[in-house]
Structure 1
């Protein structure tokens, strides 16, 4: 998963430097919408699980799965404003970035100062290499990346964050400098491994639902309701509310040519949380098989509901336009 986060880190950094997040005007609406799309699910989940042993799962319903969300949008593209694909992609990228921060802050334990200090030393070396290493030797970054993963793992901070840190420490270039952009070449080499090996392996290993012992719904139904309601209801309501307010007070601007109905359909698609939600459920309830299974069932149910709702809403729009 550190490799997956490395690829995501490259995408995020490129968007921040040259892409859709490179200016306040471009980033404001999806960023504000993303904050709402994470805040409201957290509130909904907390309402059902406040001051219980399940409260630690608050990070589960916060994320949007980029691959599945874009896949559903592609199917519905003919029925929606095509410019909103950029909005959804940006939303998912910012969502991933904030989820990474949440994992680092709330899902790390047994912090070791020595490991953190060693990680900082390697980060400094990476930054020095980035400044003075002119030949862009991939081996140098691979060696330092593995060393960074080891030190972050030892520090007690979740080791997958080493992938994002490495991505942010590597130089990137615009289209004109693409021939010397090591991060671009590395990203494209790793995308195939990520998409066809790592993520399928992760899904195969982590979507299995193990019902060991008695599955006590009286104990776990608040967790399940919190996740499903957070993703299916909290995501779209948070995105729409924060996006509308931001547009109303003119600190953000709705994508040109798109209606609020289109934005709402996309916000429903954003309720498909899969990879990151499964990942957080594993680390939030490590060793608690019943809670992990309950979380996985809820994530899958929410994904199915969000997909069906988005298809229905898109079809309703098409019918309305035909009248």
Structure 2
């Protein structure tokens, strides 16, 4: 039923491969690695890193790092947004109704717990440390869906209700993460009027190429107008709208990697979803799923380069921010999920899925502590490369904490054994 191993082989191994190459390269020849990361592709371009020239005019330089992190990663976040959107909007969506209540409470705990641990420990280390690292509070809130889901299946077995609970938590965590990135980590000085461009093109493409053809097809069983739009225009109107929306985000000062999010809900979609890991998902032929399938392999390659360009941290960079991120994930995430999940399930009487125990919440929290992909991304936008603490770049030290979060997999397996989790086959 599930195509997890195929997904992990393509998606995860390429990402890990890029990260491993980056780690080796940065520790063998840091100078050439950073020259590669900041390679200038096009100087004085319409998109890229903005800075003022000698005349005081805004000058943009398109580097390899900007191309991957700010432009191409928009497709990764679009796929994440697609899963979140379907979970919320569809009648059988996984984040709708009472069944989602306890996972949503647990998600809130799984985000607040890491923030409390991260900032609390930073305060204990002194004002200098706190001032240097406080902007990175969101780094340990992330949960990597693919890796966490894989480890969850190893710990609980494919048929355990805790696996479904974990997937709901991870999807909700992604949704909250997108909001946090948009609100708390702008890429530059805010110019919100540019968001009118993003909103305008999203509304226009929805009305002209989704809503209007369906209205014109009322009473027409062959759906002539909608079929013509799908056959001859396909995804092009949405790609153009996405490009304009992306530009609007860049000029608005929001992180442009989120620029496709307003367009995703405008694309025609099926009336049900089976989930990102479901084999049945491959047989959905609505335009939204068709676009997702077409993006699968390009996004795999993008994630390889994301790992290559962001995980290159020298081991000498390990410092206080590393342990703050790691403890935020390894301590804050499990305790937050357990406490908030317990409150939702028992005092609030929202309950747990049949066959799931309260102690399973602790194990789920340990699995969800694998931050990796999104934690790396947040670390790259939370800190300027020039910010240092104890002679170490805070950004690099925080990234190392995100990389070390893979240790949560081992911890989850051990905690699962201690808590006597019984694996259940699908």
Q: TM-score, normalised by structure 1?
A: 0.88
Find out whether 1:24 has 2:97 as its counterpart: yes
Matches of 1:123 and 1:20, distance apart in 2: 23
For residue 276 of structure 1, the aligned residue among 374, 378, 395 is: 374
Partner of 2:173: 95
SS class of match (1:52): helix
Aligned residues: 311
Residue 319 and residue 52 in structure 1: after superposition, are their counterparts in 2 closer, same or farther (change >3 A)?
closer
- 8 A Cα contact 2:242 2:259, kept in partner: yes
Go from structure 1 to structure 2 and tell me whether the alpha carbon gap of 1:59 and 1:179 turns closer, same or farther (over 3 Å shift): closer
Q: 1:186 aligns with which of 287, 291, 299?
A: 291
Q: What is the TM-score normalised by the length of structure 2?
A: 0.68
CA RMSD of aligned residues (A): 2.4
CA distance in 1, matches of 2:346, 2:135: 35
Structure 1 residues 120 and 163, CA gap change in structure 2 (3 angstroms): closer
The alignment status of 1:244 with 2:348, answered yes or no, reads no
More displaced stretch, 111-120 vs 55-64: 111-120
Give the match for residue 209 of structure 1: 313
Question: Which one of 154, 166, 169 corresponds to residue 263 of structure 2?
Answer: 166
Shift in Å at residue 175 of structure 1?
4.7
Q: CA deviation at 1:248?
A: 1.4
1:314: how far off? 2.4
Aligned to 2:395: 292
> 1:139 maps to which residue?
236
Structure 2 match to 1:3: 75
Deviation at residue 265 of structure 1 after TM alignment: 1.3
| Alpha-carbon distance change, 140 to 76 in structure 1, aligned in 2, over 3 angstroms | same
* Aligned: 1:253 with 2:351: yes
In structure 2, relative to structure 1, the CA distance for the partners of 1:119 and 1:292 (3 Å cut) is same
Counterpart contact for 1:28–1:251, Cα < 8 Å:
no
Q: By percentage of residues, which structure has more helix?
A: 1
Q: Which runs of 5+ in 1 are unaligned?
A: none
Instruction: Name the counterpart of 2:406.
Output: 303
